[in-house]
A and B are shown apart, each in its own frame.
Chain A
Amino acid sequence: MASPGERDLVRRLAQAISPETAVEQCAGQQAVDDDDDLIDQVAALPSGSSRLRIWENQNCLVTTRPVARRKAFPEAADFSARSGWPVHVRSSGGSTVIHRPGILNISLAVAAGAKPVPPNASYEALITLLQAGFRKLHIEPFVGSITGAYCDGNYNLCLNNRKIAGTASRIIRRHDQTAYICHASITVYGSTGSDISHIRNFEQRLGLPHAYTTSSHATLADMLDLNPG
Chain B
Amino acid sequence: MTEILVPQGQWEPDQEAALATWLYDDGEAVQAGVTVAEIMVEKTSFEISAPASGTLCIAVAEDEIVVPGQVVGSIK
9 contacts between A and B (CB under 8 A): A64-B20, A66-B40, A69-B21, A93-B45, A119-B41, A120-B12, A153-B42, A168-B45, A171-B46
Q: Mark B1-41, 1 if CB is under 8 A from A, else 0.
A: 00000000111100100001111000000000000001011
**Among A69, A122, A151, contact of B44 (Cβ-Cβ < 8 Å):** A122
**Among B11, B43, B63, contact of A92 (Cβ-Cβ < 8 Å):** B43
Q: Does A116 contact B (CB under 8 A)?
A: yes
Q: Which residues of the other chain, A, contact B10 by a CB distance below 8 angstroms?
A: 116, 118, 171
User: In chain A between 137 and 180, which residues have their CB closer than 8 angstroms to a CB of chain B?
Assistant: 151, 153-155, 167-173
A147 to chain B, nearest CB (A): 16
Q: Does A51 contact B (CB under 8 A)?
A: no
Given contacts A65-B38, A173-B47, 11 further A-B contacts (CB under 8 A): A66-B20, A66-B40, A69-B22, A93-B20, A93-B43, A93-B44, A116-B10, A119-B41, A119-B43, A153-B43, A168-B44
Whether B21 contacts A119 by the Cβ 8 Å rule is no
Q: Which residues of the other chain, A, contact B12 by a CB distance below 8 angstroms?
A: 118-120
Q: Which residues of the other chain, A, contact B43 by a CB distance below 8 angstroms?
A: 92-94, 119, 151, 153-155, 167-169
Whether A93 contacts B42 by the Cβ 8 Å rule is yes
Residues in chain B within 8 A of chain A (CB atoms): 9-12, 15, 20-23, 38, 40-47, 49, 62-63
Q: Which residues of the other chain, B, contact A167 by a CB distance below 8 angstroms?
A: 43
**Among A66, A122, A155, contact of B62 (Cβ-Cβ < 8 Å):** A66
B74 to chain A, nearest CB (A): 20
B43 to chain A, nearest CB (A): 4
Secondary structure dominating the interface of A: loop
Q: Which residues of the other chain, A, contact B62 by a CB distance below 8 angstroms?
A: 66, 69
Closest partner residue, chain B, to A90 (CB atom): B45
- A61 to B3 Cα, complex, angstroms: 36
Q: What bracket does the count of chain A residues touching chain B fall in?
A: 20 to 34
- A40 to B11 Cα, complex, angstroms: 21
Rank and list the top 8 A-B pairs by shortest CB-CB distance, nearest first.
A119-B44, A93-B43, A94-B43, A153-B43, A168-B43, A65-B21, A66-B20, A169-B44
- A66 to B40 Cα, complex, angstroms: 10
- A201 to B22 Cα, complex, angstroms: 26
Q: Which residues of the other chain, B, contact A151 by a CB distance below 8 angstroms?
A: 43
- A96 to B34 Cα, complex, angstroms: 26
Whether A119 contacts B15 by the Cβ 8 Å rule is yes
A210 to chain B, nearest CB (A): 14
